[in-house]
A and B are shown apart, each in its own frame.
Chain A
Amino acid sequence: MIEFQDLQKGFDGKEVLRGLSLKVRDGETVVIIGYSGTGKSVALKHIVGLLHPDAGDVIVDGQAVSTLDRDGLTALREGIGYVFQFAALFDSLTVAENLALGLRRRRVSAEEIEDRVREALALVDLSGTEERMPAELSGGMRKRVGIARAIALRPRYILYDEPTTGLDPVTSAVIDRLMVRTREHLGVTGVVVTHDMRSAYTVGDRIAMLYEGRIRQVGTVAEIQETEDSVVRQFIEGRPE
């Protein structure tokens, strides 16, 4: 389980998270929605210790992330896959090497690495791209390789940072279907950060809206769709005022 406990974080004197509290139960996918710049990605980065909180903490499997030393963080990260907004593929490595890098760190045998790379690329419908360089891929393909890199690790948790941002509607739908397929096939717990409501409705078991540094409302897809909270309504309907 992942639990945000009164998480607070600011940058250059500006408070971004002002007491974020949220629980993500094992096996579910929680989508965090909210306006751009409200700290959704900042919250996600605290789960893997890429950022250190000003106050509060994130508890993953009973461990407070901010208290972990480097070895503890390494052990924690070995159980988490992270899909970055712009994929963050390593430019100098081929697709297969990008996928293999995390597995090598986990001392997986060469034969198993090969199998897992093939399997993960098949799951994202990118079989045959093993030897291509990231620069040769389209935006949608890069995102799918990013997801494959996370899947190949067989993690307990997958964190998706704006997985459909900047993609055309069809490619976005492909990515959504992929996230659902990943949860169904691998049974992983997911946290998805997005402001794409179609994606949120498709992949989320629950949706939480982050507003002014705190969770404004959290509920099932149906509960969010029927909400009477004016701020949440305005956001999900995409109304300017």
Chain B
Amino acid sequence: MGDMVRALVDIRVWAPLAIVQMRRIGVDSIPVTLFIAAFTGVVLALQASYTFTGAVPLYFVGTLVGKTMMLELGPVICGLALAGRVGASMAAELGTMKVTEQVDALETLAYDPQSYLVLPRVIAGTVMFPMIIAFAMATGIVTGWLTSLALLDLSTPDFLKGLKLFYQFKDVWFGLFKSATFGFTITAVGCIVGLATRGGAEGVGKSTTRAVVYSAVLILLLDAFWAVVLL
């Protein structure tokens, strides 16, 4: 971590590469994230209706869909999915570079692997995750609303009434802040594990698995930590 901080001064190296990584992490992750979020919204609306039937007014479906997508399921489910997509891909890419001596080659060309490989990815992940997950939250809420209209006999004003009922701006920033920490964690773990790869193809395979497992565990731990500290 100290090496990463030290490499921050090498901005001429990492800044242009961070832009490239933002596109790779951000734009390329949008389809899978939105797919997951869309179905999460549908299921949330149906399960809320099933749970509330006869006991709680149906407009609370909007409340549950909104709160859950913003506070918990948007960041966590998408974070776990991106741990697989982004974290595994980084560990595999950097692991392959390590075992084929490309990382050594980079060093002999007078580049610091921290500023050339690690920082662009970690910065891109930290910046882009909240943006991707903001889209995911919105998508989940929209599909929850459409499901309510189509399948639950809930009107748009009722859904919006529920959505606004306990809404606080904190719901949004809490979810987005949490997403940024997930982005940092997933990319840092992917890079650290990738650069520690030893051996050949088997080593790369192990690193990839390790990166996904460590990231998933850390996401769940961080999720609990932020809930205790910030809510």
**B109 contacts the other chain (CB 8 A):** yes
- List the B side residues contacting A70 at CB < 8 Å: 6, 112
A1 within 8 A of B: no
Instruction: Tell me whether B108 and A82 are in contact (CB under 8 A).
Output: yes
Of B104, B106, B110, B111, most buried by chain A (CB within 10 Å of CB) is B110
B102 and A77 contacting across the interface, CB-CB below 8 Å: no
Q: List, in ascending order, chain A residues with CB within 8 A of B104's CB.
A: 45, 50, 82, 84, 88
Q: CB-defined interface of A40-77 with B at 8 Å, one 1/0 digit per residue?
A: 00000100101000000000000000000010001001
The 8 A CB mask of B79-107 against A (1 = contact, 0 = none) is: 00000000000000000110011101111
Interface 9-residue window, one of A100-108, A186-194, A213-221: A100-108
Does residue A80 face the partner (Cβ distance < 8 Å to B)? yes
Contact across chains for B110 and A50 when beta carbons are under 8 A apart: no
- Does A114 have its Cβ within 8 Å of any Cβ on chain B? no
Known: A70-B112, A86-B100, A88-B100. A48 touches B107 (CB 8 A): yes
Residue of B nearest to A47 (CB): B108
- Give CA–CA (A157, B63) in the complex, Å: 69
B91-135 with Cβ < 8 A to chain A:
96-97, 100-102, 104-112
Instruction: Report if A229 contacts B (CB, 8 A).
Output: no
Could you tell me the distance between the alpha carbons of A78 and B108 in the complex, rounded to whole angstroms?
A: 8
- Nearest neighbor of B107 in chain A, beta-carbon distance: A50
| Closest residue on chain A to residue B112 by CB atoms | A70
Cβ of A91 within 8 Å of any chain B Cβ, yes or no, is: yes
Do A88 and B102 touch across chains, with their CB atoms under 8 A apart? yes
Among residues 16 to 74 in chain B, which have CB atoms less than 8 Å away from a CB atom of chain A?
none
CA A74 to CA B96, docked complex, whole Å? 24
Whole-angstrom distance from the CB of B56 to the nearest CB of chain A? 54
A-chain residues with CB within 8 Å of residue B6 when the two chains form the complex: 70
Flag A152-168 by CB within 8 Å of B: 1 or 0 each.
01000000000000000
* CB contact between A86 and one of B13, B101, B107, B112 (< 8 Å): that residue: B101
Partner among A77, A81, A85, A153 whose Cβ is within 8 Å of the Cβ of B107: A77
How long is the Cα–Cα vector from A176 to B79 in the complex, in angstroms? 52
How far, in angstroms, from A227 to B202 measured CA to CA in the complex?
Answer: 43
Rounded to whole angstroms, the CA-CA distance of A50 and B100 in the bound complex is 14
What size tier do the contact residues of chain B reach? 10 to 19
Instruction: Say whether A35 faces chain B, with CB atoms less than 8 Å apart.
Output: no
Give complex CA distance A42, B42 in Å. 58
Main secondary structure on A side of the interface with B: loop
Q: How many residues of A contact B (CB 8 A)?
A: 22
Complex Cα spacing A154 to B191, Å: 32
A112 to B13, CA, bound (A): 20
A101 touches B101 (CB 8 A): no
A220 → chain B closest CB, angstroms: 29
Expressed in whole angstroms, the minimum distance between the Cβ of A52 and any Cβ of chain B is 13
**Complexed CA–CA distance, A150 and B205 (Å):** 31
B89 CB to closest chain A CB (Å) equals 13
Assess whether A90 is in contact with B107, with CB atoms less than 8 Å apart: no
In angstroms, Cα B101 to Cα A45, docked, is 11
Whether A105 contacts B109 by the Cβ 8 Å rule is yes
Contact call B111/A50, Cβ cutoff below 8 A = no
The residues of A that contact B101 with a CB separation of less than 8 Å are: 84-86, 88
In the bound assembly, the distance between CA atoms of A85 and B109 in angstroms comes to 16
Instruction: Please state if A90 and B111 are interface contacts (CB–CB under 8 Å).
Output: no
What chain B residues lie within 8 Å of A84 (beta carbons)? 101, 104-105
> Shortest distance in angstroms between B231's beta carbon and chain A's nearest beta carbon?
42
Q: Which 3 A-B pairs have the closest CB atoms?
A: A102-B109, A88-B105, A82-B108
Instruction: Provide a sorted-by-A list of 14 A–B residue pairs whose CB atoms are within 8 angstroms.
Output: A48-B107, A50-B104, A50-B107, A50-B108, A77-B108, A86-B100, A88-B104, A89-B105, A91-B97, A91-B102, A105-B13, A105-B110, A105-B111, A153-B109
Sample of 17 more A-B contacts, CB < 8 Å, known A77-B110, A106-B110: A45-B104, A50-B104, A50-B108, A70-B6, A74-B110, A82-B104, A84-B101, A84-B104, A85-B101, A86-B101, A88-B100, A88-B101, A88-B102, A88-B104, A88-B105, A89-B105, A102-B109
